[in-house]
Amino acid sequence: MVFNQTEKQERSYLQQIISRLKKIISHTDASVKDHVDTLAAYKDYLWNNKDIDPHEIRSMRESILNHFAIGESVIDKRKRLAKIVDIPYFGRIDFQEKNENCSVIPVYIGIHTFHDSESRTTLIYDWRAPISSMFYDYELGEAFYQSPWGEVKGDISLKRQYRIRDGKMEFMIESALTVHDDILQKELSSNADDKMKNIVATIQREQNLIIRNEESRTLIIQGVAGSGKTSIALHRIAYLLYTFKDSIFSKDILIISPNKVFADYISNVLPELGEETVPETSMEQVLSEVLDHKYKYLSFFEQVNELLTKPVPDFIERIQYKSSFDFISSLDRFILHIENHYFKAEDVKLTQYITVPAEFIEEQFHRFNRYPMRQRFEAMTEYMLDMMKVQYAFTVTTAERNFLKKEIKRMFAGNNDLQVYKDFFEWMGKPEMFKMRKNRTLEYADLAPIAYLHIALEGGTKNSVKHLLIDEMQDYSPIQYKVIQKLFPCRKTILGDASQSVNPYGSSTADMIRKALVTGEVMKLCKSYRSTCEITDFAQKIRINTELEPVARHGEKPHVLQFNNEKEELSAIKDLILTYQASFYKSLGIICKTESQARGMVDKLQITDIHFLSSQSSAFVQGIVITSAHMAKGLEFDEVIIPQIDDKNYHSEIDRSMLYVATTRAMHRLTLTYSGLKRTPFI
């Protein structure tokens, strides 16, 4: 007999679960109060009895720490329970193991496990639990899951999905498919939020494979626009934190994200899944930190902006050269050249009677070749002085020791990173490939190669990071991945879309990343969930991606509007904003090619309640947003307006990339406007 066969029974059961949860929350509140009262009593006792003996103080201190620890765990439990009261679960499968005498188990699946201590049964299973994987991977019939004790085979006899909000069941669907289209369509048709949300109720089979992949040391996810790759990567982090809870914690993970706005936009997902937020940084911060923040440099945003507004051929050539694998090979050969030619040993007169011969010093430099070159000086000094102590029974003073180390360091011509980098281009016969900007500012493309040389000469590894997540993978060059590999020898999840590069002269494909890292499994996400079929078809005409398959969700066709002049175009955009404000949509993105165009649009429109997202912004705000295509990457809006799509504004390959990124931000409605005779040839 099926447990809770009818919808009426399911609704009644839901209220029983919620009542049980509320009862336990009430008990935990009382328990927290007891612990707080006990701690206060201990504190008063210690304050009023200052002459108690040390043994009693020690005993009380242990009791206080114990109460504090138990109190914290009770508070954590309460937080988890409070999270699931509104939506206790979203799915259910009935599973029967193949073994004899095994009954059918109803497995209710939610964001967190709920184990009832009274009945000693698990009433709700965490979506990350091994048994829950079958909900995402199988239809009715034979199924199996990997438990800690091995493979468990059986049959799924029932599969249901629920939409529960604020403790009330809105609807229930009997589902024979992996994740029922009705639920997925309802979620996809909903409006964009100010933060990315968890998608545990609609994870698809191909996404589940990526989330639960434990084998790949480096997992490279190539996902088309709107495939949910960032969300999937964050769910993967949540899964790893759950599965390896004794060995990896939130603080052990690092996310390299494209900008602060995007970092804020995704900041909700892990807390929604019951995990703490993880540290976040940018590629620029990582590289600059390697170089002790010594150098001023053009940011990636500034590089892209310059390519969009003043694409000088020499600048493009420098970026392309430094993004090639030949460039990395040349750097490696130059490092070998440094090893063989940059250390010129000389005699060192240590005292009036003792001179350390050059040949002996040279020999030690090569003896310690397992050390990075600049780290050898300390080891060489210690070794030579130990040898002298044994042979000559001679002990040096601290001053003499420091003098010898200083003299050895002086013999090495590679102590200045920037000078070594300049030497490289001279050695290559390509001095024109290095250009310092005004105020001794480096170009962005030079930051990673200098860091690469620095690590080769100085060493450096971030062993505290156990899992590294890199988003927008296509915008980083092979040399940047080489630096990352040296800095972070840990497991990695790397994700992006080669079609959405805003760095066309220095970008990487999944295969290039695998080559740079010398390892990695590539997994693809080809289904696009964000945009309607009409918007996806339109974007495909700008840049075709043969691997992309849109999920069948229809809406109005994108509108391309032509105007006689800029004044008419601005007036039409104002009308479109009024139409948006009267609609049920929650977010409108007005996406310009560059930041200066976006700033100009804000000034021209003169509309209140408009949020301008610049490269200096640090938070994503819902409502009407005006921004550049670069800053819009990774974000999504109910409606998108792209102004100024004339042939003068969008004409180069990097312009095409920007237009593709802008169009693929739209979920439900897309309008493009221009004034003049000719629109861009890309549409």
**Is 460 marked within a binding site?**
no
Contact between 331 and 424 under an 8 Å Cβ cutoff? The reply is: yes
DSSP 441-500: EEPHHHHHHHHHHHHHHH----TT-SEEEE-SGGGS-HHHHHHHHHH--SEEEEEE-GGG
The pair of three-digit structure tokens given for residue 186, joined into one six-digit string: 């309802």
Among residues 499, 594, 602, the alpha carbon closest in space to that of 306 is found at: 594
Question: Cα 162 to the chain's mean position, in Å?
Answer: 30
Alpha-carbon gap, residue 12 to 4, rounded angstroms = 9
Among residues 537, 567, 559, the alpha carbon closest in space to that of 550 is found at: 537
User: How do beta strands 296-297 and 441-442 pair?
Assistant: parallel
Classify the C-alpha dihedral 260-262-267-268 as positive or negative.
Answer: positive
Alpha-carbon gap, residue 130 to 147, rounded angstroms = 6
Classify the C-alpha dihedral 62-68-72-78 as positive or negative.
Answer: positive
DSSP 382-436: HHHHHHHHHHH-----HHHHHHHHHHHHHTBS---HHHHHHHHHHHHT-GGG---
Please state whether 524 falls in left (phi above 0), alpha (psi between -120 and 50) or beta: beta
Judged by DSSP in three states, 306 sits in helix
**Residue found under tokens 């040391």:** 217
Contact between 613 and 627 under an 8 Å Cβ cutoff? The reply is: yes
Classify the C-alpha dihedral 586-592-594-600 as positive or negative.
Answer: negative
CB under 8 Å to 272, separation ≥6 — which residues? 111, 197, 198
**Residue found under tokens 């915008």:** 475
Alpha-carbon gap, residue 65 to 44, rounded angstroms = 16
**Is 223 marked within a binding site?**
yes
Alpha-carbon gap, residue 395 to 386, rounded angstroms = 9
**Residue found under tokens 């009262």:** 37
Please state whether 526 falls in left (phi above 0), alpha (psi between -120 and 50) or beta: alpha
Alpha-carbon gap, residue 657 to 652, rounded angstroms = 9
**Is 227 marked within a binding site?**
yes
Cβ-based neighbour number of residue 552 at 10 Å:
9
357 sits in which H/E element: none
Judged by DSSP in three states, 380 sits in helix
The pair of three-digit structure tokens given for residue 48, joined into one six-digit string: 């009023």
Alpha-carbon gap, residue 624 to 636, rounded angstroms = 12
**Is 600 marked within a binding site?**
no
- Percent helix / strand / coil, the chain, rounded to 5: 50, 20, 35
Cβ-based neighbour number of residue 34 at 10 Å:
14
**Is 506 marked within a binding site?**
no
**Is 230 marked within a binding site?**
yes
**Is 91 marked within a binding site?**
no
Residue type, 126: D
CB under 8 Å to 369, separation ≥6 — which residues? 339, 376
Alpha-carbon gap, residue 633 to 502, rounded angstroms = 9
**Is 167 marked within a binding site?**
no
Residues contributing to the annotated binding site for ATP: 223-230
Residues contributing to the annotated binding site: 223-230
